[in-house]
Structure 1
């Protein structure tokens, strides 16, 4: 599945369009979450409900892809992605998942509530699920969403941020082309659009900008990703997205997730072989992990483009493509043309492997000028999606 992570919509929030940023909350997350002691029962449709098990991966994959098709999503899930989700050590399969089966044992409804474990400055509960198209119109979806909202409140109240006065919200994601009834269901439950994303693609048969050595007196080096550069790339990502509204850091554990479609051959980074360590250590923008890495003499990745190959999506979209999951440049290194450098290298590698297009998603309010950059590189909008949220 192509996850819209190029500019991290799943970790971004904002005030509603046309309004100023909300005032800092004056009550804790737990107080605002108002977690219910018990969860509402789902009785509509006469389904049998239970939590999830790791051996449910194939059944979950089937219903998620049926939901994706019914809701006009331009992606499909793969079995390794579902297996990874069900194996995550921080997910409570019994309490955070709800599976509804009919009399034949076939899965007809699915719900998942997820609180990212690395959140530091915003508490998020992300809701996913739905009802099989053959069983819609029976009231199952409304009751299932009510269960998710209640469980999301419980998880936020029990999270590591429960005692903090930070923003908190329940979030769902939907495609712009999804059925209107889906949006109406969310709106009736109190969700409102908070962020919009554009799905972009670039024809790789068109001339690709030449891949040249990055400028900076010879200290910067463009290289293909290697395992040794993975941790420096994580630190670069955390720095690059620190000034994006609501973006949360990636820990070693969360960074290692969502790699089932990862393509090292299409992933490029820029390394500074001779960084000004003293200046970086003196900068208030340098985080503690980067400072420790600098003192230890570890490689400093300053720009990157992480790419994946979502084969399951090719038939849905009608073309082959390489996907840029995440693109970023350290704040101290912006304005040097490094983003076009890593992207051009990635596009050329995708084209060499026979891909027809390069694809990515971008937050329409991205603060780093990414929208304009992608346009200059030949990317064009093909569709869009949005995040809807209940602000607590």
Structure 2
């Protein structure tokens, strides 16, 4: 086998999508990625290609890829996110170790450009079923630091939830107020960093999958005090993703999040969706998991964050 490494390119999107599909057959995570999803990921402002991505090829066939993503803040540590996927037929300890070395080299180079002198820490996520990847991370010195939960709601069997707020549907004129509210609401969350207007537009409002008709806000004048933003991702039919749920600290305790999520689920059902999915920090300090359970969500999977300090510790 002749393995070559080169910079990852936007035109690798289809081959990367095929990697994920091959892996999903042997280690199901519940995530199905479309080519458009992968292309949007490759276009992320936080992962500027070519320096932030690498492709590994056997001949002219893509057998693995990896990416690193800078953050918008280092407060006090720059927590860069790294990810990769290797085709199940090509997984070896040697290739896994080489990918981790690439993580460190590429991340360190990008880190020096944005936060020189700040401590650097790499964060990688592995699903319960991604045992090979988790073992590679452990052998590479990564330690488990957090667990996030996948949750799913069957829209045909929703509990009754009394609304305590008057939501308004998202409109483009609320974009900046929504971004500011999201940053404030998530300021205390694990691994969170403020979203710049460019990144917010890329991830949410400018995404092809953004569903403004299923995104709701509560307002105090022109200020957003609570929000639920939804997208469609992957190729799963009849599924909506509740991407962000946030409430400003002074508006908590009034049932705003529960009311907005319940409104989204009812509207999604009326529009023909069969299920809704979301992810939540298992140690979320606001008790978000309990809110989602009251709205009809149940835990269906776990993603484990593994971290390794690279410099400054």
Q: Is the 8 A contact 2:8 2:65 kept in 1?
A: no
2:173 is aligned with 1:228: yes
- 1:327-342 mapped onto 2 (5 Å cutoff): 327-342=245-260
State the partner residue of 1:388: 306
Shift of 1:354: 1.7
Paired residues for 1:162-201 under 5 Å? 162-164=116-118, 168-179=120-131, 181-201=132-152
Q: Which one has a larger percent strand, Structure 1 or Structure 2? A: 2
Pair 148,69 (structure 1): closer, same or farther in 2 beyond 3 Å? farther
Q: Who is 1:119 aligned against?
A: 73
| 1:160 alignment counterpart | 114
SS of the equivalent of 2:236 reads helix
Q: Which has the larger radius of gyration?
A: 1
- The whole-number CA distance in structure 2 between the counterparts of 1:369 and 1:94 is 40
Query: What's the offset of the Cα at 1:226?
Result: 0.8
Cα distance in 2 for partners of 1:75, 1:366 equals 22
The 2-side partners of 1:198 and 1:113 are apart by 23
The reply to whether residue 262 of structure 1 matches residue 210 of structure 2 is yes
Structure 2: segments with no counterpart, 5+ residues? none
Residues 291-347 of structure 1: CA deviation (Å, up to 9, x unaligned): xxxxxxxx1111010111225134xxxxx3222101011111111111111111101
What is the 5 A alignment of 1:1-392? Answer: 45-89=1-45, 91-103=47-59, 105-116=60-71, 118-121=72-75, 122-137=77-92, 139-156=94-111, 158-164=112-118, 168-179=120-131, 181-209=132-160, 212=163, 214=165, 221-258=166-203, 259-273=207-221, 299-314=222-237, 320-392=238-310
Q: Give the CA RMSD over aligned residues.
A: 2.1
Q: CA offset at residue 261 of structure 1? A: 1.5
Deviation readout 1:127-158 (Å, 9 max, x if unpaired): 111321122237222212222222222322x1
Aligned with 1:75: secondary structure? coil
Question: Do 1:236 and 1:303's aligned partners in 2 also have CA atoms closer than 8 Å?
Answer: yes
For residues 211 and 260 of structure 1, do their structure 2 counterparts lie closer, same or farther at Cα, with a shift above 3 Å needed?
farther
Q: Structure 1 residues 168 and 343, CA, compared in 2 at 3 Å: closer, same or farther? A: same
Of 80-89 and 221-230, deviating more is 80-89
> 1:149–1:227: structure 2 CA closer, same or farther, 3 Å change rule?
same
Structure 2 residue matching 1:172: 3-state secondary structure: strand
Question: Normalising by structure 1, what TM-score?
Answer: 0.73
Q: How many Å separate the matches in 2 of 1:63 and 1:193?
A: 25
Structure 1 pair 94–238 and aligned structure 2 pair: CA distance change class (3 A): closer
Q: Tell me if the contact between 1:170 and 1:391 (Cα under 8 Å) persists in the aligned partners.
A: yes
SS at the partner of 1:94?
coil
The offset of 1:224, in angstroms, is 0.7
Deviations, residues 195-231 of structure 1 (Å, cap 9, x unaligned): 10111112211244356461xxxxxx41111111121
Rounded Cα–Cα distance in structure 2 between residues aligned with 1:213 and 1:107 = 52
The CA deviation at 1:234 is: 0.7
Q: Distance in 2 between matches of 1:182 and 1:82?
A: 20
User: What's the TM-score, normalizing by structure 2?
Assistant: 0.90
Q: What SS class does the counterpart of residue 100 from structure 1 fall into?
A: strand
